[in-house]
């Protein structure tokens, strides 16, 4: 499949220092372009054109690079609740087909984000980081994750198609799971998880030659548990199919070779457990990612025992930027290794989000060759907010 | 700082993320405890069928001999505790340090665990109602003159344990003697007793792959209760609510234990004051078998005042003071929250804190980073008052005046009740009362337990079911 237009050029440079410098220059130029797009009367986004009337600066002339993004007020995700959703569609893209993706929504209005091509670009960039050995081109995928108005549902399907495969999906409503857990209906949540896993087993038993999978840590563990308990073998028997010699009691035995996974539940301990105990000591490859509907997705540095299974994420700069900041002063970036709240900015022609405080915290990571800009490790729910967060299935 | 790993049925597991336990009084780190996930638990439980078969193949007499040795090791040996080795005294010190329970209570309760280990045969005889122990090898016995056959209900018994008192560990200790593999999820601040008992078992010869020590979080605990065929769990009414109708889970929740005076003894309450004080305040008043209410048909005011006078002299003492009578709250905010609950209750007319009136000082005492709650006797005018049927983690009791004729209809669920009466009619009513689990007749404190009798369920009948069994007569060999 052809690339979707809009992928940024790779950062060049002979040394890390040079790459860091070039990445910064690329970011500055990108920020200028995107801000002009969203605030120009011809192409701009109705929401931002209206908001600009309250600014004490002119985004068209006063924003010349990344440093000037601080001039924007902190983005409030409440702005995303309720309509009309068209206020987020840039005039320059008014004739394009628009998707709306939602996040949250267990109680009250969900937050909505419009998307045209961003999810395709993000996942094509992510695809370039996947090793073909474990994610063979042309192989089919299983999307064992949320369905409904979620970006992931379409994004994973696009990823599979971009790599020449076909994606199978299950029905999974994460809002229902969160509702069960909030109401302490543990057995009901478990029954729903079992229902989701049963759907996945049916797909795996269907002979579709699935080699790649997206899933969340909880669902990966649940699938592993079901396989170990012989549930896929039971599914084979129930459809009159012989169980292959050697059985079907591990993820490796199903033929899956690569897993793309995401969620803040990705702790070093879970990753180690997955690699050592679920994925045959790494024979099945797994790559964690950190993402959300607002940002896109951040790829991780290779994870393994060499680094204590530490997971460091890097945003798809210049389209998005992650900063780790002092939770009491978002203008202050913490020192490398320091702990702070994740502050996210998104700069695409479809969507402009300056300085959005995520519900997560982590440690600031240094740039490295592959991603010559700041990253974040140890991502977890922001301690001051964690009490109110119910983690469902992802 | 001691590093305590998880024991995954024969595999020692050290996690990267650990729970740090600190000394309640000094905040110095005492231990780091490795944690496992729910999915690890699920994976380990996949091995339990094999582990069960292994344990079942060991003659019960051999297992009982191991208990005797384990009892000795528990009390007298230096046993591994992660990367350290601890004597009994060092173990008690650490236990007190991280739980805030005074050393004197920890020592006393740990010895209850040792008692069950040492007297296991008597304990299982009680729980099986005198079944010959060999029946656990054969699955049946005819030695009583009739066929009695049993089958195990599970391959593993899971115990989700609390941190408040080591005495509760006596309840799961017989599991191995019943030939069922054991999974322990320790309370966050109390890994010490479960780990020490398992080490004593291992040293005595119990195979490691039938023993699990799996510290985990709330979600992991739920997985234990979901995946084990039989389990026990400790928690308050709210956290245990999802398991209320799950027969696989034996719930150990709030006790609401009570002292109940009969008409015939109500005027002689003064002779029972020491008994009442022990029932309410022994071991810091934190157990579910500590009395949290005293019901009497007469003299409620005088009884409350006399009790308050007895208890008002109790003072906070250091955790290692042998004269300690109450325990510290390692998290002062918990003490504060409990105190607020009592204060809120007192805003409803019809109740007064008699101890505070006698003592003249507040119930809540803060010292450094810790807090104490002083014993509290609340005189309630009616059993409907919000403070009449409450249980807290400190010596607390309401005093309620109510006619003997109706008292048993009003007391509600009662884990342990002591009926202070010689009235045969009232005793018969108590015997028939379905609200009472453990019944003491006469002057016995509610907290004095016999380990060979059921406590919120019978471990043997939880782990085994009786079945009908017949053997066809063998035909005589033809000639």
Indicate the residue of B15, B16, B39 with minimum beta-carbon distance to A225. B39
A221 touches chain B (CB under 8 A): yes
A187 touches chain B (CB under 8 A): yes
Residue B276 has, within 13 A of its CA and on its CB side, a CA count of 31
Average confidence score pLDDT of chain B: 93
Cα–Cα distance measured from residue B168 to residue B173, given in angstroms and rounded to the nearest whole number: 10
A230 touches chain B (CB under 8 A): no
Residue of B6, B9, B16 best to disrupt the A interface, most CBs of A under 10 A: B16
Nearest 10 degrees: CA dihedral of A137, A143, A145, A151?
Answer: 70
Position A393 confidence tier, pLDDT thresholds 50, 70, 90: very low
Contact between B121 and B195 (Cβ < 8 Å): no
Rounded to two decimals, the ipTM of the complex is 0.73
Signed CA dihedral, A314, A315, A317, A323: sign only = negative
Do B43 and A268 lie within an 8 Å CB cutoff?
no
Cα separations (Å) of B401 from A64, B294, B352?
80, 9, 14
B38 touches chain A (CB under 8 A): yes
B323 is a domain residue: yes
Between A and B, how many CB-CB pairs are < 8 A?
42
Same domain for B81 and B67: yes
| A 260-289 residues with CB < 8 A to B | 267-270, 272-273, 277-278
Same domain for B285 and B218: no
Contact list, A264 vs chain B (CB under 8 Å): none
| Residue A189 phi, psi dihedral angles, 5° rounding | -60, -40
Q: What is the pLDDT of residue A303?
A: 81
Q: How many Å lie between the alpha carbon of B189 and the closest alpha carbon of chain A? A: 21
Same domain for B247 and B390: no
B356 is a domain residue: yes
Position A300 confidence tier, pLDDT thresholds 50, 70, 90: confident
Domain A16-386: assigned CATH number: 3.40.50.12780
Cα–Cα distance measured from residue A303 to residue A288, given in angstroms and rounded to the nearest whole number: 8
Do B39 and A278 lie within an 8 Å CB cutoff?
yes
Q: What is the pLDDT of residues A335-363, one digit of tens each?
A: 999 999 999 999 999 999 999 998 889 99
B37 touches chain A (CB under 8 A): yes
Q: What is the pLDDT of residues B264-307, one digit of tens each?
A: 999 999 999 999 999 999 989 988 899 999 999 999 999 999 99
> How many independent structural domains does chain B possess?
2
Cα–Cα distance measured from residue B213 to residue B207, given in angstroms and rounded to the nearest whole number: 14
For every residue of chain A, which 3-state class applies, written as one string?
CCCCCCCCCCCCCCCHHHHHHHHHHHHHHHHHHHHHHHHCCCCCCHHHHHHHHHCCCCHHHHCCCHHHHHHCCCCCHHHHECCCHHHHCCHHHCCCCCEEEEECCCCCCCEEEEECCHHHHHHHHHHCCCCCCCCCCCCEEEEECCCCCCHHHHHHHHHHHHCCCCEEECCCCHHHHHHHHHCCCHHHHHHHHHHHHHHHHHHHHCCCCEEEEEECHHHHHHHHHHHHCCHHHHHHHHCCCCCCCCCCCCCHHHCCCEEEEECCCCCHHHHHHHHHHHCCCCCCEEEEEEEECCCEEEEECCCCHHHCCCCEEECCCCCEEEEEEECCEEEEECCCCCEEEEEEEEECCCCEEEEEEEEEEEEEECCCCCCCCCEEEEEEECHHHHCCCCCCCC
Same domain for B291 and B240: no
Position B476 confidence tier, pLDDT thresholds 50, 70, 90: low
Position A107 confidence tier, pLDDT thresholds 50, 70, 90: low
Same domain for B307 and B194: no
Closest listed residue to residue B374, CA positions, set B386, B385, B390, B358: B358
Domain extents in chain A: 16-386
Residue B43 sits in a domain whose CATH number is: 3.40.605.10
Average confidence score pLDDT of chain A: 91
Q: What is the pLDDT of residue B478?
A: 52
Domain end call among B233, B253, B273: B253
Structure-block tokens of residue A108:
């009250």
Same domain for B249 and B264: no
Q: What is the pLDDT of residues B48-75, one digit of tens each?
A: 999 999 999 999 999 999 999 999 999 9
pTM of the entire structure?
Answer: 0.82
Do B17 and A269 lie within an 8 Å CB cutoff?
yes
Cα separations (Å) of A14 from A11, A20, B116?
10, 11, 72
Domain end call among B192, B226, B253: B253
B455 is a domain residue: no
Q: What is the pLDDT of residues A37-71, one digit of tens each?
A: 999 999 999 999 999 999 999 999 999 999 999 99
Same domain for B242 and B296: no
3-state secondary structure of B329: strand
B378 beta partners: B353, B398
Indicate the residue of A186, A222, A272 with minimum beta-carbon distance to B16. A272
Mean pLDDT for the stretch of residues A266-294 = 88
Structure-block tokens of residue A145:
């994750």
B247 touches chain A (CB under 8 A): no
| pLDDT at B462 exceeding the cut of 90 | yes
Same domain for B187 and B48: yes
* Structural domain of B40: 2-253
> How would you classify residue A387: left for phi > 0, otherwise alpha for psi between -120 and 50, otherwise beta?
alpha
Residue B409 sits in a domain whose CATH number is: 3.40.309.10
Same domain for B261 and B226: no
């Amino acid at each position: 499949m052809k690339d979707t237009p809009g992928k940024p050029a790779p950062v060049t440079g002979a040394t890390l220092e040079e790459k860091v410098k070039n990445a910064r220059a690329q970011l500055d130029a990108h920020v200028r372009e995107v801000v002009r797009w969203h605030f120009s009367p011809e192409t701009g986004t109705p929401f931002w054109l209206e908001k600009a009337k309250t600014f004490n600066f002119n985004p068209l002339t006063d924003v010349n690079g990344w440093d000037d993004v601080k001039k924007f007020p902190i983005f409030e995700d409440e702005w995303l609740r309720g309509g009309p959703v068209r206020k987020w569609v840039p005039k320059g893209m008014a004739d394009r087909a628009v998707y709306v993706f939602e996040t949250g929504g267990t109680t009250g209005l969900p937050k909505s984000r419009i998307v045209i091509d961003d999810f395709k670009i993000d996942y094509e960039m992510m695809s370039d980081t996947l090793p073909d050995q474990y994610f063979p081109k042309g192989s089919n995928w299983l999307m064992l994750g949320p369905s409904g108005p979620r970006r992931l549902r379409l994004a994973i399907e696009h990823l599979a198609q971009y790599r020449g495969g076909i994606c199978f999906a299950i029905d999974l409503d994460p809002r229902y799971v969160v509702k069960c857990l909030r109401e302490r209906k543990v057995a009901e949540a478990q029954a729903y998880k079992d229902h989701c896993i049963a759907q996945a087993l049916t797909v795996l038993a269907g002979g579709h030659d699935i080699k790649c999978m997206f899933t969340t840590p909880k669902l990966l563990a649940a699938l592993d548990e079901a396989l170990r308990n012989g549930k896929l073998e039971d599914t084979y028997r129930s459809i009159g199919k012989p169980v292959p010699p050697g059985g079907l009691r591990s993820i490796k035995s199903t033929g899956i070779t690569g897993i793309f996974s995401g969620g803040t539940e990705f702790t070093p301990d879970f990753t180690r457990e997955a690699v050592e105990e679920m994925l045959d000591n790494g024979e099945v490859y797994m790559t964690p990612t950190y993402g959300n509907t607002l940002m896109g997705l951040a790829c991780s540095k290779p994870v393994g025992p060499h680094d204590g299974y530490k997971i460091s994420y890097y945003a798809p700069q210049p389209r998005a930027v992650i900063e780790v900041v002092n939770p009491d002063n978002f203008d202050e970036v913490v020192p490398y290794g320091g702990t702070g709240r994740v502050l996210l900015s998104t700069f695409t022609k479809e969507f402009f989000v300056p300085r959005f405080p995520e519900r997560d915290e982590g440690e600031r990571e240094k740039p490295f060759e592959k991603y010559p800009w700041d990253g974040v490790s140890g991502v977890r729910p922001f301690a001051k907010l964690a009490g109110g967060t119910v983690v469902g299935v992802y | 700082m001691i590093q305590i790993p998880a024991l995954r049925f024969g595999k020692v597991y050290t996690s990267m993320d650990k729970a740090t336990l600190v000394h309640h009084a000094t905040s110095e780190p005492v231990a780091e405890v490795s944690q496992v996930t729910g999915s690890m638990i699920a994976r380990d439980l996949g091995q339990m069928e094999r582990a069960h078969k292994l344990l079942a193949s060991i003659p019960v007499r051999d297992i009982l001999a191991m208990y005797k040795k384990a009892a000795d090791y528990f009390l007298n040996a230096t046993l591994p505790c992660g990367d350290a080795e601890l004597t009994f005294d060092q173990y008690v010190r650490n236990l007190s340090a991280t739980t805030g329970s005074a050393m004197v209570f920890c020592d006393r309760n740990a010895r209850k665990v040792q008692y069950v280990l040492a007297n296991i045969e008597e304990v299982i005889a009680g729980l099986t109602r005198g079944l010959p122990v060999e029946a656990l090898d054969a699955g049946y016995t005819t030695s009583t003159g009739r066929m009695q056959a049993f089958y195990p209900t599970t391959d593993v018994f899971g115990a989700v344990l609390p941190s408040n008192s080591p005495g509760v560990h006596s309840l799961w200790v017989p599991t191995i003697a019943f030939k069922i593999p054991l999974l322990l999820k320790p309370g966050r601040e109390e890994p010490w007793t479960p780990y020490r008992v398992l080490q004593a078992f291992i040293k005595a010869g119990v195979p490691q792959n039938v023993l699990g020590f799996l510290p985990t979080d709330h979600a992991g605990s739920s997985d234990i209760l979901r995946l084990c065929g039989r389990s026990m769990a400790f928690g308050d009414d709210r956290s245990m609510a999802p398991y209320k109708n799950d027969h696989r889970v034996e719930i150990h929740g709030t006790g609401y234990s009570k002292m109940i005076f009969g008409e015939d003894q109500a005027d002689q309450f003064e002779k029972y004051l020491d008994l009442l004080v022990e029932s309410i305040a022994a071991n810091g008043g934190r157990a579910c078998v500590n009395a949290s209410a005293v019901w009497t048909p007469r003299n409620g005011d005088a009884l409350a005042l006399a009790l308050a006078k007895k208890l008002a002299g109790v003072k906070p003492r250091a955790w290692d003071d042998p004269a300690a009578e109450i325990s510290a709250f390692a998290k002062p905010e918990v003490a504060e929250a409990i105190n607020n609950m009592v204060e809120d209750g007192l805003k409803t007319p019809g109740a007064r804190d008699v101890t505070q009136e006698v003592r003249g000082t507040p119930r809540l005492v803060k010292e450094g980073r810790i807090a104490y709650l002083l014993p509290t006797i609340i005189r309630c005018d009616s059993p409907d008052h919000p403070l009449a049927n409450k249980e807290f983690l400190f010596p607390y009791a309401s005093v309620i005046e109510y006619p003997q004729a109706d008292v048993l209809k009003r007391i509600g669920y009662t884990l342990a009740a002591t009926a202070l009466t010689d009235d045969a009619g009232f005793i018969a009513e108590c015997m028939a009362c379905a609200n009472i689990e453990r019944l003491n007749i006469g002057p016995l404190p509610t907290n004095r337990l016999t380990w060979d009798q059921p406590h919120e369920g019978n471990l043997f009948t939880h782990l085994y079911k009786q079945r009908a069994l017949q053997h066809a007569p063998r035909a005589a060999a033809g000639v």
